[in-house]
A and B are shown apart, each in its own frame.
Chain A
């Protein structure tokens, strides 16, 4: 469904992506793991066309989005949802209006139908009674759930998650992962999750890709990654200070 082919990106003198190759299958949950600054978020932004690579192709069902702009790119993006690291909720709108926003802007549905769909989606993420609150009044977990509801409400076929559980306590991490799993099972979307939550993210991922120094160094099922003989992967998974990577 998504193919990333030999993608290079640099910002000034800093080379962030050095030839990324990745394939995402339809309906799977692919987790991308790697150290901070390894290029995970930048890769996600390339997949949705927010950043254009210096070199390489990104195919969304055979359409190379690196060659698209304007309305043609928008048409591809309409199939995506994205949950940003900080939630990126519109802070001048209530929870209800945030979730209703894409429906109001992108569909011709009558207000009563929009209200019904939004309320149902808020209930799906456990925020049925919170619609009147503003983002500033929500906890971190509630913000993530609101952002998830907003990403899901247009029923996209692909959802990108940029560190959906960062900054949450372990119970909430599990709760959000469970929510992603449940909504994935219900709506059947393809998911790409950038995460630091190891090994928790392995519980929901169909496959895992490890990114290191701007390249994908391993790809496979969670079991394969956990058993990988690569010393960097073992050090990263265990969080050990001993290994090929110096922590600081």
Chain B
């Protein structure tokens, strides 16, 4: 019984210590991001890596999600004779909810895992210590640009998912199922407000922060060789995905 309590206590303390370390990493990285010299080249490189190189998979995700929404939306709305509302239904679902979440999950799988693995390999091969030896702060050099890149890139990618998804819904709803083109876009204009776009925007900013923060943290504190990198990468993807879904619920309640 005492052993059980001891184990439980050790687990809780280790979890709290981990959370504290994570928070310190985030605060330090954010503070360093605003201290010169600004590493714009590295920031641009990371935006290119997270954004441009995720473009194909994000466009495919947006297109097929929009098409599925068009198909399912038409089926559901036709039961109520309200197919004219297909445009707003697709747009609202994408912009407020599905666009930011799916985009974040896709970017976690593609870029977040690579980020954790890259930093993890740098850790186990002493490349991070080399930065320290050269009197370069590894948090400023590695983590700050990644976190900024996540926060900048995710809203842009989410916007692309939204636009491509709306045209995916258009393809199915208007071109295949016969909803009027004017109705599809006209109703959308009437229903969609700046508040909906703002909700989607803040969600994607938060998800961008979560992905880069969690993945950088897991990579930065990698231990025990190749197996450690593999574990860190898996944990980074799982933890980011779960946090994105939990955060999505709370943001939907609050915003």
Contacts and interface: CB of A to CB of B under 8 A. Distances in A.
Interface string A78-91: 10111011101111
A86 B125 contact: yes
Contact of B133 (A77, A85, A91, A105): A77
Interface residues of A, number: 23
Interface in B82-125: 121, 125
17 contacts: A45-B129, A48-B133, A50-B129, A74-B137, A75-B135, A77-B133, A77-B134, A77-B135, A82-B133, A84-B129, A86-B125, A88-B126, A88-B129, A88-B130, A90-B130, A101-B134, A106-B134
A213 B133 CA distance: 27
Contacts of B126: 84-86, 88
Contact of A80 (B121, B133, B136): B133
A50 B133 contact: yes
B107 to A, nearest CB: 20
Interface in B127-143: 127, 129-130, 132-137
Interface string A43-54: 001001110000
Contacts, number: 43
A114 to B, nearest CB: 15
A102 interface: yes
B14 to A, nearest CB: 13
Contacts of B133: 48, 50, 77, 80-82
Contact of A105 (B121, B127, B129, B136): B136
Contacts of B125: 86, 88, 91
Contacts of A74: 135, 137
A77 B130 contact: no
Of the listed residues B125, B126, B133, the one surrounded by the most CB atoms of chain A closer than 10 A to its CB is B133
Contacts of A50: 129, 132-133
B10 to A, nearest CB: 13
B127 A77 contact: no
Contacts of A80: 133
> 8 shortest A-B CB distances, which residue pairs?
A74-B135, A88-B126, A84-B126, A77-B135, A82-B133, A88-B130, A78-B135, A102-B134
B226 to A, nearest CB: 13
B222 to A, nearest CB: 15
Contacts of B132: 49-50, 77
Contacts of B121: 91
A220 to B, nearest CB: 29
A83 to B, nearest CB: 10
A106 B121 CA distance: 24
A94 to B, nearest CB: 15
Interface string A18-49: 00000000000000000000000000010011
Nearest to A98: B130
Given A45-B129, A49-B132, 11 more contacts: A50-B129, A74-B137, A75-B135, A77-B135, A78-B135, A80-B133, A85-B126, A88-B125, A89-B127, A90-B127, A91-B127
A202 to B, nearest CB: 27
Nearest to B126: A88
Contacts of A90: 127, 130
Nearest to B129: A50
A78 B137 CA distance: 12
A108 to B, nearest CB: 11
Nearest to B41: A104
Contacts of A91: 121, 125, 127
A240 to B, nearest CB: 32
A106 B129 contact: no
Nearest to B136: A105
A60 to B, nearest CB: 13
B81 to A, nearest CB: 58
A170 B223 CA distance: 32
Nearest to B133: A82
A121 to B, nearest CB: 15
